[in-house]
Amino acid sequence: MKTIILHEAYIGTQFPCALEYNDLTGLNDGEERQLDAWVLDLIREAEESYDIFDPVIHFKYGDESEFETCDVTGFKGNCVAVTAFILV
C-alpha cells in the first residue's frame, strides 16, 4: 500500500476526538458544521485528484502549538499539527 498525503495543517485541540471517535461533545454546532465541511473537502480532493470513490481519510497527529491558525475555523489558538492521508 502507498500513503498519499492530502493535507498538512493545524487544527484546534477540540477536533481530534471528533475525528477519531466521532465524539462531538466538545464542539458547538458551528464547529461541527465547519469540521464536516473540512472533512468533505478532503474527501472531494481525494476523489478528484486520485480517482478514488468514497475514500477513507486517516489522520496522524503531531506536536501541539499554543498559537496557530486553525485550518477548520480560521481562528488562532491552541492547535495540533495534523496530516490527512489516504492509503492506496
pLDDT of 1 higher than 90? no
Beta partners for 85?
Answer: 5, 58
CB burial class (10 A; 0-12, 13-18, 19+) of residue 28?
A: exposed
Distance set, CA 69 to CA 46, 53, 58 (Å): 23, 31, 21
Please give the angle made by the CA atoms of 46, 61 and 30, to the nearest 5 degrees: 70
Distance set, CA 65 to CA 8, 27, 57, 74, 86 (Å): 14, 19, 23, 15, 25
Q: What are phi and psi of 36, to 5 degrees?
A: -60, -45
9-67: per-residue pLDDT in tens?
Answer: 999 999 999 999 999 998 999 999 999 999 999 999 999 999 989 999 999 999 999 99
- What would the grid cell of residue 72 be? 477548520
